[in-house]
Amino acid sequence: MSQSPAFVLNVLETPEDPEGSQEPSPYDESEVHDSFHQLIQEQSRWVAEEGLELQQRQPETGALGASGSDHETMLGPEGAPVYSMATLRILASMPSRTIGRSRGAIISQYYSRTVKLRRRAGRPQLRDMGRSARPSLRLYDLELDSAVLEEEEKRGLLVKELQGLTAAQRDHMLRGMPLSLAEKRGLREESRPPRGKHRAQWHRGLLSCCDQLRDSCVLASHNLGLALLSGLQALMPWHYALKRIGGRFGSSVLSYFLFLKTLLAFNTLLLPPLLAFIVGVQAAFPPAPTGPVPAFTGLELLTGGGYFTHSVMYYGYYSNATLNQPCASPLDGSQCTPEAGSLPYSMPLAYLFTLGAAFFITCITLVYSMSRSFGESYRVGSTSGVHAITVFCSWDYKVTQRWATRLQHDNIRTQLKELLAEWQSRQHRRSACGQLRRVAVLGLVWLLCLGTTLGCTLAVYTFSELMIKSPVSAEREAVLLLLPLVVCLLNLGGPYLFRILAALERHDSPVLEVYVAICRNLILKMVTLGILCYHWLGRRVGTLKDQCWENFVGQELYRLMVMDFIFTLLDTLLGELVWRLFSEKQLKRKGKPEFDIAGNVLELIYGQTLTWLGVLFSPLLPAMQIIKLLLLFYIKKASLMANCQAPRRPWKASHMSTVFISLLCFPSFLGAAVFLCYAVWQVKPSSTCGPFRTLDTMYEAGKVWVRRLEKAGPRVSWLPWIHRYLVEDTFPIYLVSALLLAVIYLNIQVVKGQRKVICLLKEQISNVF
């Protein structure tokens, strides 16, 4: 079988310019394309006249014109091969011929080269050159008289315009031109005025003080804008710390710290209204003390009682009158009556409406954050082609500092590990027997976990009943720490038992493992809080008839928050630091413990739920929560960097933020809202303390205010109408709740529909190609 002939194009290098100037040929401009088109036509006409074709070579001998070939050897003058028109077109379209520069640089450069070419005595003819030479325009004069003259005029006008500018303006304009450094340097030299003229202009005062002052102001404003931008970047809390955590430990661990930052934002949003309309007003108009105020001993930091009971910390301190000046508590049980000319600021109304407005704003913010997080995490086509995007498009070329490049390098490497781990988890499939065995193990582990939760619930209920039967005097306030201590011990030991049982399941996906752990911890903590809520509103209200039960509930929630923080610190110390030291010294292991995402996230949700439950009885609990979150961030970050390692099985936490916000919204916030609504609408307030001491329910404060407005005159008659039809009537409340749920549902369905459409479009694209 005869082999197919091989065609060789002997393309020689372009001869050097006798002038010594070697510039790349800019073939992307219209003038150059026209000249090169003329070259192709001339070469093609010459080929047609001579009747030459491409040179053929046999691979065996390498000789020209080998026998047995059906093709002839095509040689031009001087023994050089001649190309057809199609070959010349291919050569003209190759990348080395088509890469060009901007029009301004071409015009400036070819203007200088045209002047040199004009001085030449003559130029070589096309027929005198070797036809094997590379088709280049460097040896030919490309000037068109009209075009060159036009470019000369433009260049002259440009130089004149530059000469009329100041030095700063000239440098600024040249810096923005799309020219090479050589061209810019040449234009700067040409546009620079003569030395004597420049000195004359300087002595004549053309560069006046006003111009210098204007330039200084512009420069100062530019520097100020840059400083403000960098300051705004620095105002973002923990910006560099979060980048460092994400680059070293991945998005799974980073999701915990982002969720902590979100909780800090929610508490920061909740605290200002309480300080402005409740705490600050009452501190400005303090009520008369009803008895001796105990001295501060330091134990109040743990128990929340003693000195704190007679401060703005708790519900019982707040007055039930219109505030203008101190008003003592009435002895006959009637409401305080302010003197004439008092400030029309009703403390019961401010207390009730401020809490309602703060909770409503928090609800709207939660729903918006959840819908936005859902749209971002379940973005359409978020996993398609992400490997190539991460490899080729992730690097930020604006990074110049060494630490920033190292951080970005670690971040990209961690992202690639997560993507590859996620792809590998999709490839693994179990057999039918393996799936049955796994279902049996999952069922057994779930039964043990639910049994553990039931045991913890019974323990909390039994101990709370024991605390009711054994009343504690004011001198033995430390005994009140027993119930929070038992609750925190169970909340700390339960998750560790769940982790031991989870080792039997051996989940293929680390994401599923985290979700299961979150579900089990959530059940334990929510059931425990349900028992405590029943203990406070169902049992303690009846046993504390002659006392301020609101203060007791506020103190219980304060003690739970303090003990939860202490146990979190102990867990960080014992569970991470001590375990790392023990594993390195005794077990001789190099590996460090992993960061428990599920347990730590549930601790945050649990602490935030305590804050929302207690804001009615202790308005300053959000401030405590803010301090607690700030300390937790730095403690957890330091422990993470020193004692923990990245997950052994990397995984991409693309939906973790959405799951965290959803758990914060529905079990946590919704449960706290139900608890507070029951306390406001159904439970009778204490008759000895608080702004609602003379009312049957806290909600009656709104009714009393409406009756006063009805007697005030027709100018405020619209306010009772709003209260009657929008507050007392439950239909608007249900309507607003239904609308919020409908918005969430519609957002979910829209995103699902978009994902389906994108999947169909991708299938169509794959079918086309």
Buried b (16+ CB within 10 A) or exposed e, 126-159: eeeeebbeebbbbebebbeeebbeebeeebeebb
Chain segment 235-273, per-residue pLDDT in tens: 666 878 888 888 888 888 899 999 999 999 999 999 999
User: What pLDDT, in 10s, does the model give residues 529-550?
Assistant: 999 999 999 888 888 877 899 9
Give the number of other Cβ atoms within 10 Å of residue 763's Cβ. Answer: 10
Q: List, for residues 589-614, the tens digit of each pLDDT value.
A: 667 888 988 899 999 999 999 999 99
Give the pLDDT of residue 378.
58
Q: Which one, of 553, 547, 549, 548, lies nearest residue 532 by Cα?
A: 553
How is the chain split into domains, by residue range? 242-321+344-381+429-694
Mean local confidence (pLDDT), 129-139: 46
Please give the Cα distance from 10 to 580 (Å, whole number). Answer: 70
pLDDT tens string 647-703: 877 766 667 888 898 899 888 999 999 999 999 999 999 988 999 998 999 988 888
Q: Is the pLDDT score of 498 beyond 90?
A: yes
Of 511, 500, 516, 460, the C-alpha closest to 484 is 460
Contact 295, 307 (CB under 8 A): yes
Q: What backbone torsions phi and psi does residue 57 show, to the nearest 5 degrees?
A: -135, 135
Asked if 453 and 523 count as a contact pair (C-beta separation under 8 A), the reply is yes
| C-alpha to C-alpha distance for 626 and 217, rounded to whole angstroms | 42
pLDDT at 559 over 90: yes
Q: According to the model, what pLDDT value does residue 364 have?
A: 87
Q: pLDDT tier at 85 (50, 70, 90 boundaries)? A: low
d(CA 611, CA 664): 12
Please, are residues 282 and 626 in contact by the beta-carbon 8 Å criterion? no
The stretch 473-481 carries a mean pLDDT of: 76
The H or E element containing residue 163 is helix 145-163
pLDDT at 463 over 80: yes
Return the ∠ at Cα 189 (arms to 187 and 191), rounded to 5°: 65
pLDDT tens profile 351-407:
999 999 999 899 889 988 887 777 666 554 445 566 677 777 778 777 777 877 887
Identify which of 147, 157, 134 has the alpha carbon closest to the alpha carbon of residue 106: 147
Listing DSSP states for 9-61 in one string gives ---BPPPPPTTS------TTSHHHHHHHHHHHHHHHHHHHHHT----EE-TTT
How far apart are alpha carbons 55 and 752 in whole angstroms?
A: 63
The pLDDT of residue 121 is above 80: no
- Nearest-CA neighbor of 499 among 511, 487, 512, 513? 513
- How many Cβ atoms are within 10 Å of 749's Cβ, its own excluded? 10
Q: What six digits make up the tokens of 412?
A: 């990209």
Give the integer Cα–Cα distance in Å for 579 and 587.
Answer: 10
Residue 95 phi/psi, 5-degree rounding, is -60, -35
Residue 17 reports pLDDT greater than 60:
no
Q: Residue 371: name the closest of 760, 739, 629, 672 by CA.
A: 739
Q: What is the pLDDT of residue 20?
A: 40
Identify which of 392, 408, 359 has the alpha carbon closest to the alpha carbon of residue 670: 359
Highest mean pLDDT among 317-321, 412-416, 668-672: 668-672
